[in-house]
Amino acid sequence: MSLATQKSSPYTVIADIYDLVMTDVDYETWSDYIDEIILQHKPKSVELLELACGTGTIAFYLEELDCYNITATDASADMIRIAKRKAARVNSEIKFITMNFLEIKLDKKFDVVYMVFDSLNYLHSNEEILKLHSEVKKVLKPGGIFIYDFTTPRNSRKAIKYLNEERRHLKGKFRYERKSSYDAVNQIHTNKFHIEVMDPESDEPTQVFEEEHQQKIYTFDHIKSLIKKTDFTILQAYDGFELKPAHKKSLRITMVLQ
Ligand SMILES: C[S@@+](CC[C@H](N)C(=O)[O-])C[C@H]1O[C@@H](n2cnc3c(N)ncnc32)[C@H](O)[C@@H]1O
């Protein structure tokens, strides 16, 4: 008997296999990169706020450096549930909160607000991107910095080749397949995840889900033109994971704003 496929909202069912999907991502190097940027542009920072933290991996690596107090937030209650489970395992003091970054409600102010791994690309309109900047401004201390990255159309064209039809199987737990496509005209990158929850004994699927994530892909020039409309100035725009300036061919760009 074949199982009916249930549609799940973005970052709900996938939360339980997110760390499996991200096995190949070098989060430790990524967190070192964020730390280097902080040291470069706002040394002596202590209070950090992470937006769209997912299951918290970057925050855990930054906490290991023993110099930051970290609040980490994400709109998905399921991603935060996994982050809190990981935090309990390592006695982490990170404060994890479910929060939409378009409605930041926090009493505290921060030296640094950061957001990694294309999370900006989940915003599909200029208005939302401007709103994000004005929300972040509210919780930054004077002179505080806002760090975020986004991916470019060139990255989407390249990524399709290796992300499409990715499959993984965690015996007795989950099996998933990812299909990726890129609509270059509308600059929409879609990842469709087919997720099967497996019976622990028989390793046969018991539930089947389809989860679709859509990202809007922006050029460097587009993001720069939007930042001009905010109260932020660009301290630097970096290329990839380098401390070198971004350029028109950059695949991922990390903005550092003040
Ligand atoms: C590609 S994941 C990145 C997660 C994490 N930063 C990482 O590096 O693994 C994108 C994350 O953005 C979150 N997200 C999307 N829209 C959001 C919003 N409006 N407010 C807060 N989080 C959001 C999703 O729930 C998801 O966890």
CATH code linked to domain 19-151+218-257: 3.40.50.150
Count other C-beta atoms under 10 Å from residue 152's C-beta. Answer: 23
- Distance from C-alpha of 197 to C-alpha of 254, rounded to nearest angstrom: 36
Atom 13, ligand 1: which residue's CA is nearest? 52
Distance 1 CA to ligand 1 centre (A): 36
Per-residue confidence (pLDDT) for residue 158, from 0 to 100: 83
Atom from ligand 1 closest to the CA of residue 116 = 6
Annotated domain spans of the chain: 5-17+154-216, 19-151+218-257
- Could you tell me how many residues make up the chain? 258
Nearest-10 Cα torsion for 50, 150, 187, 221: 130
Find out whether the beta carbon of 119 lies less than 6 Å from any atom of ligand 1: yes
Atom 12, ligand 1: which residue's CA is nearest? 52
Instruction: Tell me which H or E stretch contains 141.
Output: strand 140-151
b/e sequence 43-58, b meaning 16+ C-beta within 10 Å: eebebbbbbbbbbbbb
Per-residue confidence (pLDDT) for residue 256, from 0 to 100: 98
Angle among Cα 17, 52, 35 to the nearest 5 degrees reads 105
Identify the DSSP state of 119: G
Find out whether the beta carbon of 116 lies less than 6 Å from any atom of ligand 1: yes
Per-residue confidence (pLDDT) for residue 41, from 0 to 100: 98
Find out whether the beta carbon of 232 lies less than 6 Å from any atom of ligand 1: no
Per-residue confidence (pLDDT) for residue 1, from 0 to 100: 60
Atom 18, ligand 1: which residue's CA is nearest? 100
Find out whether the beta carbon of 112 lies less than 6 Å from any atom of ligand 1: no
Per-residue confidence (pLDDT) for residue 162, from 0 to 100: 65
pLDDT in tens, the chain (258 residues): 679 999 999 999 999 999 999 999 999 999 999 999 999 999 999 999 999 999 999 999 999 999 999 999 999 999 999 999 999 999 999 999 999 999 999 999 999 999 999 999 999 999 999 999 999 999 999 999 999 999 999 999 887 766 677 889 999 999 999 999 999 999 999 999 999 999 999 999 999 999 999 999 999 999 999 999 999 999 999 999 999 999 989 999 999 999
Instruction: Give the three-state DSSP class for 165.
Output: coil
- Return the half-sphere exposure (C-beta side, CA atoms, 13 A cut-off) of residue 63: 19
Q: Cα-flanking dihedrals φ and ψ of residue 116, to 5°?
A: -120, 170
Distance 61 CA to ligand 1 centre (A): 17
pTM, full prediction: 0.96
